[in-house]
Structure 1
């Protein structure tokens, strides 16, 4: 009888031990056919970005002179080379394009620089339109969509889904609608974190930011401290020397001034080795 009692006691102990161990086990994984495979570590995020389509008639109508290269692109190719020399010598990556006021051709210059940099096959460039009060680059490139960079910077849309790729080494981040509170978005910690995440995922060599005019609002003033340098664009026969001087001093307080570009020049008589009049 004692042996029977001991056997039942041992069985009860063993059963209690098994139940305790079962409670500590991790939840059972779903069947293999329902498991989601993680993204392959070697996948290229650039290839996953939808490709942009530029209508041929826009090239001349919207002054996209750098799109096809050749002599017409000479001025922007020269600007590209001068810019790259400073970027490489100083270890810069983030470059802002700004102007004293609107109408200086800033967004057109950003588009042309993007196409010029795109012909440098060993460089990866991201162009982000941060002039959130208008469509800017989206109008120049005649692109439409549901979201804007404001949505990306607030974390509601992923950049890989919002961006549009030109060739294999240029990605545009465009605005398809105006934003009501651009200054607050651009100056937020969340926006900076999103930009750092974009850099970490895509690892660009250069990021061009088309930023708001300096003397119109405070939109860019809180953001420009986060770039490495900036180009100041002025319009020939439109932007006064006083406005250029004030804008340059404001810009120098926020970041490194890479240089001043006099845009919309009509008469240069080959002084810089070309007659296109865009630099």
Structure 2
């Protein structure tokens, strides 16, 4: 346990040092990629999508346009806070399951991917489920737990979308996700991929806060988190408890209300849609 605490403190100091360095950069400098630092991206296999299923999976942000506007607005607000505070690691979590974490993570990935000067890695750390892989209609044999434990190299497991988005998915569930996420191996894995791929943003789909302790040990390793709540499903009490727990672990970027229907021309769309 002492070695783990030392490793956590070391990772935290590195993250704080990185934040201070980022704050000294101008807005134009922060997200300029270099060819040498992103050559590794192009060696990864490209993800293949069946776009016919996207509307049923509520992946509205893939091609842009009016239906993607809510996610584009969330992306822009998120980027503003990231730039202001020098953040890189962003977690998505919720009080309970069914709040749209994985759907939001996928839509944010597509929205961020349409900004060519941003390099984003999206990792599914909700290891009890295969939520993000299921939404993206992907199949495979391994999970992020296998990668962290050293059974599978990340470059053999990861999938690339376009030139600037990488997905790390779960195709199987893990037996001991809480222990894995709180281990020193997870800290070392994050440091390794940040060193190798030099992402601007690392987006994590993390487990619900009130369902288990899976997220509690890991969230200290991120810079900030978005708390997602489902309209007409998540109670105010659940939001209050989850927000207090989240604030003890990392910076709370904000609360996002999902499954809320906009009608009569919201965001310029006369048909209305869910977010």
- Flag whether TM exceeds 0.5 (same fold): yes
3-state SS of paired residue (1:128): strand
CA radius of gyration, larger in: 1
- 1:239-278 aligned at under 5 Å gives the runs 239-267=234-262, 269-270=264-265, 276-278=272-274
Alpha-carbon deviation of 1:273?
6.1
8 Å CA contact retained: 2:38, 2:197:
no
Check whether the contact 1:75–1:278 (CA below 8 A) recurs between aligned residues: no
| Cα pair 2:37 2:197 within 8 Å, conserved | no
Q: Which one of 58, 65, 79 corresponds to residue 60 of structure 2? A: 65
Instruction: Tell me if structure 2 keeps the 8 A contact 1:64–1:112.
Output: yes
Structure 2 residue 178 is the aligned partner of structure 1 residue 187:
no
Count of residues in correspondence between the two structures: 239
Structure 1's consecutive aligned runs of 4 or more residues displaced over 4 angstroms after TM superposition are 268-279
Do structure 1's residue 214 and structure 2's residue 209 form an aligned pair? yes
Does 2:104 align with 1:109?
Answer: yes
Instruction: Trace 1:1-279 onto structure 2 (pairs within 5 A).
Output: 44-267=39-262, 269-270=264-265, 276-279=272-275
TM, length-normalised to structure 1: 0.83
Q: Is the 8 A contact 1:75 1:277 kept in 2?
A: no
Shift of 1:267: 3.8
Deviations 1:88-147 (A, max 9, x none): 010000000000000001100000000000000000000000000010100001111121
Using a 3 Å threshold, how does the CA distance of structure 1 residues 43 and 141 change in structure 2: closer, same or farther?
A: closer
Do the aligned partners of residues 42 and 263 (structure 1) sit closer, same or farther apart at CA in structure 2, a change above 3 Å counting? closer
- Alpha-carbon distance, 1:43 to partner: 7.7
Q: Can you give the 5+ residue segments of structure 2 that lack an aligned partner in the other structure?
A: 1-35
Please say if residues 222 and 250 of structure 2, whose CA atoms lie closer than 8 Å, have aligned partners that are also in contact: yes
The CA RMSD measured in Å over matched residues stands at 1.5
Deviation of 1:278 after TM superposition, in Å, equals 4.4
